[in-house]
Chains A and B, each alone.
Chain A
C-alpha cells in the first residue's frame, strides 16, 4: 500500500507527508522498493537492469550513466555489471534489485525480507549496507522474521500479526513492555497477547 501497488480499504498512509492515495506518483518517487520477489530481467546485464529503472524514473543520458556507475561501485556489483543476469546468485540478484530501488536516490527505502535466501557473507554485506544507508540519513523500513537481524539494525519496531499492529516501539521499550529478555521473547509475548493466549 505504501508503494501504491495496492489500494487501502480504509484509512490513510503518507510518505514524507505525501498522501499515497491522492498523489501516488509523488509517493513512488519518494520511496525505493525492494519487493519480496526481487526478480530482475535475465536477458539484461546488471548495468542495464539498473539503468532501465533509472530511465523509468526519468533519468537519462550522462546523469543516468553516472548514477548507475555510482550504484555499481557502492553495492560492489562491478564484477558482474556487464554480464547478463541469467546466471546470477541470489545475493547478486538482491544487490541488483537494491541498486534498482536506489537509482532515483529516494529518501525512504522499503525492503521486504531482503535477507531471504542470502548466504552468511551476503547477509553481513546487506546489513552493513542498511546501516550505511541509515547513517546517510535515509529512512529504511524493512520486514523480517529474523529477530537477531531486527535487534542488530532497528531503531523502531512494529510487530504485525495477521495484518494487525500488536506492538510498537524501540527495542528497549518492547523489552520493557513484555518484560522479556530478548526480542524473540517479546515477539512471542506480543503475538500471544494479540491472540488472547497468554
Chain B
C-alpha cells in the first residue's frame, strides 16, 4: 500500500476509535451483544425442549392395589406415580382442578381378568385439549403398552411359542442426521449473524470517511494535497476493511465463548465451534470484509450527507442476506458454482465447518479468491468514483 493510502487509513481508524458512539455500535454492540442475545434465545429454546423430554411424566393411579406389578413397571419406566383412590366421578373432578393431570384408573376386575389370561382393561383420563396433558397421556399409554407387550411375550414363552410369532412387522427408525448437523439446524442463523456483524463493523467508518467528510467540509481541503485521489479512497476502504475484520475477530471469539454455555450436548448435539473452527471461520470471512468495505464505500460515495448515506447503507446491509435467504428457502446444497457468490459462499463454508463436514479445499479457495477479486474490483470502482470532480457535490 502506498504511503498516502496508509496515512489516510491510520487517520480514519484513529478517528473512529476515538468516537465513543462509533466504537460502541461497530465493535461492541454487534460483536458482543448480537451473538450473546442469539445464544440466549437458543439456550432458552434448548432448555425448554430438553426439559420437555426429560421431565418425569406425572401420573395419578386410582385403585393401584388391583395391579401392583403394573404400577411397579410404570415406576421403573420413569413415570412419577402418585396413588390416590377415587371413583370415576371424582377423577373427572381432579382433572378439572389440576392443570395437565393424567389419571390411570385400574378397574376392580383387573386382577381377575389378568390372571385368567383375558384382556384386562385400564382407563386413561386426560384433557385432550390440553397439549401438556395430551403429551403425558401418550407417555403413559406407551408405558402401559410396553408392559402389555412384555407380559404377552412371557405368556407365549410359557406356552412354548416364540414371542416373535406375535410380531409380524417391526419398524426401525433411522435418524441419519449427525449430532452436529442437527445442531447446525439451530445454529444456521449464526453464519448470518457473523456476516451482518462484520458489515456493521465498518458501516460508520465508511459513512464518516465519505459522506461525513463531505458534509463537514473537509473533503475539498483533502483533495488539494499532492496525492492521487484514488490513493485517498483506497486508504478509506482499507480502514473500513480493518474495522470489519476487527468486528469479525471479536464476533468469532464471542461466539466461541458463548457456545460453551449452551447445553447442546444434553440434547444429543455437538456444537462444532472450538478455537480451530473459529479460526477457519475467521479466515474464510476476511475476504467478505473486503467486499463489504468496498461496497459500503462505493455506495456512501454517491450520497451527499450523513443521513442519506445512513438510509442507503441500511438497505445495502440487507443485500448480502438475500442470497442466504434464498438458499435457505430452497435448501440449496453447496456446489462449486455457488462458491462464486459472495456472502452465500461464506455462509455455506461456515455451515460446513460448523457441521463438521468441511467443504472441499478447492471450493473454499474458490470462495476466497472470488471474494477477494470482487472486493478488489469494488475498491477500484471507489477509486474511479473519487477521480471524478463531481465527488465534491
Contact = CB atoms under 8 A, between A and B. Distances in A.
A56 B225 contact: yes
A176 interface: no
Main DSSP-derived SS at the B contact region: helix
B240 to A, nearest CB: 16
A55 B216 contact: no
A82 interface: no
Contacts of B11: 41, 44, 52
Nearest to A45: B18
Interface in B175-224: 213, 216-224
B54 interface: no
Interface stretch (A23-31, A72-80, A141-149, A158-166): A23-31
Contacts of B217: 35-39
Range, interface on chain A? 20 to 34
B4 A33 contact: no
A101 B225 contact: no
Nearest to A28: B226
A28 B224 contact: yes
Nearest to B11: A52
Given A38-B217, A55-B7, A56-B7, A5 B18 contact: no
A175 to B, nearest CB: 34
A25 B392 contact: no
A178 interface: no
B226 A25 contact: yes
Given A43-B18, A43-B19, A33 B224 contact: yes
A26 B219 CA distance: 20
A57 B224 CA distance: 10
B227 interface: yes
A100 interface: yes
B84 interface: no
Contacts of A117: none
Contact of A53 (B219, B220, B221, B392): B221
B384 interface: no
Contacts of A31: 224
Interface in A96-152: 97, 100-101
Most buried by A among B217, B219, B223, B224: B224
Contacts of A37: 217, 220
A83 interface: no
Interface in B309-355: none
B31 to A, nearest CB: 21
A40 B220 CA distance: 11
Contact of A100 (B18, B221, B223): B221
A3 interface: yes
Contacts of B228: 25
A100 B14 CA distance: 18
B389 interface: yes
A84 B213 CA distance: 16
A145 B54 CA distance: 84
Interface in B50-102: none
Contacts of B218: 39-41
Contacts of A55: 7
Interface in A1-57: 3-7, 25-26, 28-29, 31, 33-44, 48, 52-53, 55-57
B8 to A, nearest CB: 8
Given A43-B18, A56-B4, A29 B220 contact: no
Interface of A: 3-7, 25-26, 28-29, 31, 33-44, 48, 52-53, 55-58, 84, 97, 100-101
29 contacts: A4-B224, A6-B392, A29-B226, A31-B224, A35-B217, A35-B220, A35-B221, A36-B217, A36-B220, A37-B217, A38-B217, A38-B221, A39-B217, A39-B219, A39-B221, A41-B11, A43-B15, A43-B16, A44-B14, A44-B15, A48-B14, A52-B11, A53-B221, A53-B225, A55-B7, A56-B4, A56-B222, A56-B226, A101-B221
Given A5-B389, A25-B227, A101-B221, 15 more contacts: A3-B224, A4-B224, A5-B220, A28-B226, A33-B220, A35-B217, A35-B224, A39-B216, A41-B15, A43-B18, A44-B15, A55-B7, A56-B227, A57-B225, A58-B3
The 3 tightest CB contacts between A and B, nearest first, are A37-B217, A39-B217, A39-B218
